Amino acid sequence: MLDQTPPPPAEIARRRTFAIIAHPDAGKTTLTEKFLLFGGAIQMAGQVRAKGEARRTRSDFLKMEQDRGISVSASAMSFEYRDYRFNLVDTPGHSDFSEDTYRTLTAVDAAIMVIDGAKGVESQTRKLFEVCRLRDLPILTFCNKMDREARDTFEIIDEIQENLAIDVTPASWPIGSGRDFLGAYDLLNDRLELMDRADRNRVAESIRLDGLDDPRLAEHVPAAQLAQLREEIAMARELLPAFDRGAFLAGAMTPIWFGSAINSFGVKELMEGIGEYGPRPQPQKAAERAVGADEPRVTGFVFKVQANMDPKHRDRVAFVRLASGHFTRGMKLTHVRSKKPMAVTNPVLFLAADRELADEAWAGDIIGIPNHGQLRIGDALTEGEALRFTGIPSFAPELLQTIRATDPMKAKHLEKALTQFAEEGAAKVFKPMIGSGFIVGVVGALQFEVLASRIQQEYQIPVRFESSQFSSARWISGEKPEVEKLVNANRQHIATDSDGDLVFLTRLQWDIDRVLRDYPAARLTATKEMMA
């Protein structure tokens, strides 16, 4: 992993671009809030369901997210912490939004995995971890909610090692749990960190020590807990591997911190860990070659499109991960798919739903480019080179339903809204060859609810979803004569997606088997690469 390439410019080297992954309710949104608080980006951390608009969490800006207290769209936030520039991408925690999460993870260099001290590794954590594993992303782990009754520390570490097949090394060690939780011992820096229960937004008191035998420990930790701490750390050092940055950067080892995000405890140490040990912006893969962060020419790719972030302006913002170079406002970049130059005059940096004009940005940064539909997920922007960034997938939906506007006069408006959501990646929209109307495909059932809610909120069109005769969809590719033969003989199964690509709608696995048997030169695929 340690390469021989010359060091990148200092501005690039200080960037850390990462995502937070977690099962719903593990405390991901609270942790995001505290990151922003310690980064000086917000003055007061607000609870997810706190009263009053002023205390809404800053990373959840859709109405449904604020009402339910869940994150369903990925948002990006940039802020300074010490000598580092953090680009944090908040991902949906709900499993029904896994595709948005997957695409988000293509734009980051590392991930923070948040687990609940009482529940350990949960199903969605496992799924998201697998996505990180596919990309060999370095992972830092934060074991949250230690101020509540939690499981034994060794048990938590064992479960991570067994379930996720990754080495775990403790970066800190908790002192007690639940009511007896005092804080943690920082193993990487030999410091005692004490939690302040009185003020949830206060940074923990930090006492630098000369190892575990330092007599000052006894002034802060009761004798019984101190004896247990010394015994557990001695066992941990014997049984668990020491931190190895090379193994961590290769995705084979995860350091774990213990804390309580709601009490602001352990968060600062985690942030220091990302800054000190996390990877600088990494090379990005394109079909033509790998693009290094320190290349002088600007390149970047769109990994997310968010429509109507500001409902008053009907805007669309493309989230672009800069892969290389030094970008300045007003630059002309080539939009590779259309081969047209594009002057980027009003790029923005995000603090959740707030934004500010970006005068400059470097490789590793995430900028937003407001546009009216020119930019789509997977698009590349370069200073002239025809690059196509790879690894941004589109997945076949697992649930299909037909959609109708309850007012037939609004059918045309509904088509416009659906096109917008398809380009945003919020759903797949299929236009069947036979019959009118649209079929909407999603990965999880909650997405239908979110879509209906957003169409009502943003376009004032009440809609209803009805069951479809089809259960899944596959993209069609292969030799042209064979594809034409397949389409002509199965018109009742054929639709086009929002890019105009042919799709085969299936009722049963038998339909797929029959097509593969009868048309051997055609292919049906469950994923589609989103490339310019």
Cα gap 36→109, rounded to integer Å: 19
Chain-centroid distance, C-alpha 363: 18
Measured in degrees and rounded to the nearest 5, phi and psi for residue 263 equal -95, 15
Top pLDDT among 182 and 398 is at 182
By percentage, how much of the chain surpasses pLDDT 90? Answer: 57
Token pair, residue 193, equals: 């960190």
Three-state secondary structure along 482-509? Answer: HHHHHHHHCHHHEEECCCCCEEEEECCH
Please state the rounded mean pLDDT for residues 226-252: 96
Predicted pLDDT at 293 = 96
Predicted pLDDT at 232 = 96
* Residue 63, pLDDT above cutoff 90: no
Predicted pLDDT at 57 = 43
Strand partners, 81: 84
Cα gap 312→35, rounded to integer Å: 29
Tens digits of residue pLDDT in 507-523 = 999 999 999 999 999 99
Between the alpha carbon of residue 83 and those of residues 35, 80, 139, 517, the distances in Å are 15, 7, 21, 60
Rg over alpha carbons for the chain, rounded to the nearest Å, is 25
Please state the rounded mean pLDDT for residues 143-172: 94
Tens digits of residue pLDDT in 97-137 = 567 777 888 899 999 999 999 998 887 788 778 778 877 89
Contact predicate 465/448, CB 8 Å: yes
* Residue 314, pLDDT above cutoff 50: yes
Strands 463-467 and 205-208: unpaired
Strand partners, 300: 322, 381
Contact predicate 456/105, CB 8 Å: no
Determine how many CB atoms are found less than 10 A away from the CB of residue 183: 27
Q: Which sign does the torsion angle of CA 516, 518, 523, 526 carry?
A: negative
Contact predicate 60/48, CB 8 Å: yes
Residue with tokens 């942030």: 271
Tens digits of residue pLDDT in 18-35 = 999 888 888 888 898 889
Contact predicate 373/314, CB 8 Å: no
Token pair, residue 364, equals: 């590793």
Predicted pLDDT at 2 = 47
Please state the rounded mean pLDDT for residues 393-421: 89
Predicted pLDDT at 1 = 42
pTM of this prediction? 0.81
* Residue 252, pLDDT above cutoff 90: yes
Among 92-106, 197-211, 321-335, which range has the highest average pLDDT?
321-335
Cα gap 62→526, rounded to integer Å: 29
DSSP class of 389: B
pLDDT-wise least confident of 30-44, 169-183, 314-328: 30-44
pLDDT-wise least confident of 64-78, 294-308, 400-414, 459-473: 64-78
**DSSP helix/strand/coil, 81:** strand
Top pLDDT among 245 and 376 is at 245
- Round the average pLDDT of the chain to a whole number and report it: 86
Contact predicate 114/20, CB 8 Å: yes
Tally: H helices and E strands in the chain: 14, 33
Predicted pLDDT at 64 = 47
Tens digits of residue pLDDT in 342-357 = 999 999 887 644 667 8
Predicted pLDDT at 37 = 85
Please give the helix or strand (H or E) that residue 206 lies within, else none: strand 205-208
**DSSP helix/strand/coil, 20:** strand
* Residue 257, pLDDT above cutoff 90: yes
Measured in degrees and rounded to the nearest 5, phi and psi for residue 295 equal -65, 140
Tens digits of residue pLDDT in 435-477 = 888 999 988 888 898 899 989 988 999 999 999 999 999 999 9
pLDDT-wise least confident of 18-22, 301-305, 314-318, 490-494: 314-318
Predicted pLDDT at 259 = 95
The pLDDT-based confidence of 365 (bands split at 50, 70, 90) is very high
Top pLDDT among 412 and 170 is at 170
Predicted pLDDT at 115 = 95
Tens digits of residue pLDDT in 488-506 = 999 999 999 988 999 999 9
The pLDDT-based confidence of 311 (bands split at 50, 70, 90) is low
Distance between terminal CA atoms of the chain?
Answer: 30
Please state the rounded mean pLDDT for residues 203-219: 82
Token pair, residue 358, equals: 């970006």
Side-chain half-sphere CA neighbours of 127 within 13 A = 16
Between the alpha carbon of residue 322 and those of residues 76, 344, 363, 483, the distances in Å are 13, 13, 5, 37
Token pair, residue 178, equals: 């639940």
Residue with tokens 């690059």: 387
Between the alpha carbon of residue 133 and those of residues 103, 130, 163, 164, 433, the distances in Å are 14, 5, 13, 9, 39
Tens digits of residue pLDDT in 417-433 = 998 888 888 889 999 99
Predicted pLDDT at 58 = 45
Contact predicate 341/335, CB 8 Å: yes
Predicted pLDDT at 45 = 45
Token pair, residue 13, equals: 């080297």
Q: What are the strands, taking DSSP E only, across 316-359?
A: 316-324, 326-328, 332-335, 340-343, 348-351, 354-357
Token pair, residue 256, equals: 């774990």
Tens digits of residue pLDDT in 86-95 = 999 877 655 5
Strands 332-335 and 340-343: antiparallel
Measured in degrees and rounded to the nearest 5, phi and psi for residue 350 equal -110, 145
